[in-house]
Structure 1
């Protein structure tokens, strides 16, 4: 285990911190991103050459998670804001993470997202996404899930098909629940963010990171993303031990 991983474990004390690490504990010699991730400014060709509808629809609404455990609420807020777009009237505000929690009046999600909270399981992410759609009167949308159990070639092809279909329109959005460290090379823990683009020619996927104290959007390969989805959460994360991830897909109903 690296020094960075040890530091995160010390901070966690059994809770899922959505990728946040005290800078005082970070290994000063460790690179910001490991070999499986490339920051967006270093890999801009796809966005320059393609329409990339999801990137332009959702990236403006991706804001930093408000606590070290709030990656799920940050991702869901960005997703519904992107689907609804900028409000038409000057008097209307853009939905914030705290306003969404207040609207739902769900003490469980609020507690899981508070500083030191456990964070959510995959099934809870699905549940709270459904509750958000209902609370915001978004009845014309529904939630579907993709939760892979293996990283074989057949699953990889299904993952690519989902990404390719999603890339064709901004009318739907993919939230991804994954082991962040598999991608970034940092810690071994569960995390939630949005899919921002899929470059099929290079088999690369852009993650719109809500853990913005430490990262900006980054690209990774589709096989690495699948590995990150299927790697079980380690015992240090208490109630999230053995949790695996996947996609929460918000799309038009019917």
Structure 2
């Protein structure tokens, strides 16, 4: 089984390495999945059940403000939520960054509002849009939690086949450029205490391994002047 996993991971990392040629440089504290070290971490990861269903549906955000919709589409498809039907797909369509905005989702956050100031989605709005698809959602602001609780929750849910975790963090807090960002988690490696972020802005950064403490600190930041809550994470299941 581990051999099959290694082959799959190596192939995916090789595909990523091609795209990474145009991405921004990473600080030394972060490990790219597309490196031999990053691929080895995934092969040995203690919690990686979520990785494959998410990687199959890996989505690049359509514009700089759409990290939330891209992450939501990935999770809806990974959870195998009944897809919207269309004549083109014979009723077997996939969720994308447009059709996630059902009337119920639009009532939470209209698609057009995401590309206008203050841009993007808050943690609560991400949770609300997911809940609008009849999913069980828990929104946790980092200021209301702690590192140990986040770590244990994420490890447990990354290791089962029912939950997915989306994180909302400040890029500059992990020495990236530059503002708030949303992406799903894919795995956890205990030896290095790192989480794998499946970054949906693949034109900017590859999937990365980030130390748990650094990620939590990046989530424990105030979202914006117009939203005085901290960032954090969303746990979602059917």
Which TM-score band (shorter chain)?
A: 0.7 to 0.9
Q: How does 1:19-98 map to 2 (within 5 A)?
A: 32-42=25-35, 43-50=38-45, 52-84=48-80, 91=90, 92-98=92-98
Contact 1:76–1:129 (Cα < 8 Å) also in 2: yes
Contact 1:121–1:243 (Cα < 8 Å) also in 2: no
Against the structure 1 CA distance between its residues 115 and 147, is the aligned structure 2 distance closer, same or farther, given a 3 Å change threshold? closer
Aligned-residue offset at 1:31: 6.0
Report the 3-state secondary structure (helix = DSSP H, G, I; strand = E; otherwise coil) of the residue aligned with 1:100: coil
Q: Does 1:218 align with 2:208?
A: yes
Q: Does 1:202 align with 2:196?
A: no
Distance in 1 (CA, whole Å) between partners of 2:130 and 2:213 is: 26
Query: Structure 1: which 5+ runs fail to align?
Result: 1-29, 135-140
Q: How does 1:83-232 map to 2 (within 5 A)?
A: 83-84=79-80, 91=90, 92-101=92-101, 104=104, 106=106, 108-114=109-115, 118-131=119-132, 133-134=133-134, 141-149=135-143, 155-187=146-178, 189-232=179-222
| CA offsets 1:188-208 (integer angstroms, 9 cap, x no match) | x21111001011222000001
Distance in 2 (CA, whole Å) between partners of 1:203 and 1:127 is: 30
> What is the TM-score with the length of structure 1 in the denominator?
0.72
Aligned-residue offset at 1:183: 2.3
Instruction: Return 161-170 or 49-58, whichever deviates more.
Output: 49-58
Contact 1:63–1:210 (Cα < 8 Å) also in 2: yes
Distance in 2 (CA, whole Å) between partners of 1:56 and 1:176 is: 18
| CA offsets 1:186-240 (integer angstroms, 9 cap, x no match) | 21x211110010112220000011112201101100000011011224xxx5534
| CA offsets 1:91-144 (integer angstroms, 9 cap, x no match) | 31221111222565617430232366621222222212211x23xxxxxx4011
Report the 3-state secondary structure (helix = DSSP H, G, I; strand = E; otherwise coil) of the residue aligned with 1:84: coil
* RMSD, aligned CA: 2.8
Contact 1:57–1:85 (Cα < 8 Å) also in 2: no
| CA offsets 1:22-77 (integer angstroms, 9 cap, x no match) | xxxxxxxx961123321101211132235721110111212111121111111111
Report the 3-state secondary structure (helix = DSSP H, G, I; strand = E; otherwise coil) of the residue aligned with 1:101: coil
Alignment size in residue pairs:
208
Query: Structure 2: which 5+ runs fail to align?
Result: 1-22
Which runs of structure 1 show a deviation greater than 6 angstroms over 4 or more consecutive aligned residues?
none
Contact 2:44–2:189 (Cα < 8 Å) also in 1: no
> What is the TM-score with the length of structure 2 in the denominator?
0.77
